[in-house]
Amino acid sequence: MGFGFELLKADGKARRGRISTLHGTVETPVFMPVATLGAVKTMTPHELEELGARIILGNTYHLYLRPGHEQIAATGGLHGFMRWKGPVLTDSGGFQVFSLGHLRKITEEGVRFQSHIDGSYHFISPEKAIEIQEALGADIIMAFDECTPYPATREYATASMELTERWAARCREAHRREGQALFGIVQGGMYKDLRERSLEGLVKIGFHGYALGGVSVGEPKEEMEAIVSHCAPLMPDDRARYLMGVGTPEDIVESVAAGMDMFDCVMPTRTARHGTLFTSEGRLIIKNARFQDDERPIEEGCECYTCRHYSRAYLKHLFRAGELLALRLNTIHNLHYYMVLMASIRQAIEEGRFDRFRNEFYYKRGRVLDTPAT
């Protein structure tokens, strides 16, 4: 069986769905841990599976530069190369190329850029992006897009959005791999009407799913939420909706409330490596002196390996001492927190109580909502 998406339940705008792929099913809303270079930092595939991760994200730009998509293809794609049995999504590399700034030049044909590794020159076109992702063997791949920066003038955002649409059509034409889904990416900056135009153009081309890109690129949180809340309900009901690069637990809850289904971010793993841990009451900075003699787990009642075996005092000691074990234990906890959060969201939608869940989520953080879900 190839790719498919089924909408199982709606609770307000929040959606409960199921994605089917050649490598298994994924229950949505879902958070995808980021395996930039073919590995979720400090974690083995087996550990990810035990934590409840069912789909991970690989980065086309980085894997193209090293070790190269040809080598990965020769080992059976990312699944064989990294020994991950579940579904994989790869982004197109558009955001990473965007991040290179002065090291890249955008033209109608594609993007010429210098490697951040050795300064060598490369060129990625929409067709090349599809070729790389097909070689990587991902279950879901993304159309090549130009990630509109923030801030951007209306003139620039319009030109960028139109270029992304033309590139999307070329990606659709180039895509050949059976059983592999191709998602289009909605651009348009912070301009709602441009976002609408972008989505309309992509729907006419026709994709297996639709992603909202160009958010979380420096804009105020209020503007991001406004764009997500405006665009999500306009996206096709029978297609998966993916919010790229988001984000914090609060971002995810609000975006589910708006109608999004899929999320990815380096947040849980990156913050873990910097000593920030997620709990139901907010963030905990483990290096703080107040944890010196604290024998409690990171969070009471948490069932992750770290909380079942180690105290805050020990984790603080490991982190301050620079022990690599600290990075692993912190990452295990943060990813477990995200997996439990998504499972709780799915259950709340199934039971028709997502608004109550959202209010309780914020209440534990000391915030009382005076507005319903968007």
CB-based burial of residue 50 (10 Å sphere; 0-12 exposed, 13-18 middle, 19+ buried)?
Answer: middle
Q: Is 355 a catalytic residue?
A: no
Catalytic pick from 11, 91, 145, 261? Answer: 91
The angle formed by the CA atoms of residues 51, 56 and 57, to the nearest 5 degrees, is 150
Q: In the beta sheet, which residues pair with residue 19? A: 5, 26
> Is 91 among the residues known to form the active site?
yes
Q: What are phi and psi of 262, to 5 degrees?
A: -130, 145
Q: Choose, from 11, 237, 264, 294, the residue flagged as catalytic.
A: 264
- The helix, strand and coil proportions of the chain, stated in percent and rounded to the nearest 5, come to 45, 20, 35
By the 10 Å C-beta count (0-12 exposed, 13-18 middle, 19+ buried), 322 is classed as exposed
8 Å CB contact between 221 and 162? no
Active site residues: 91, 264
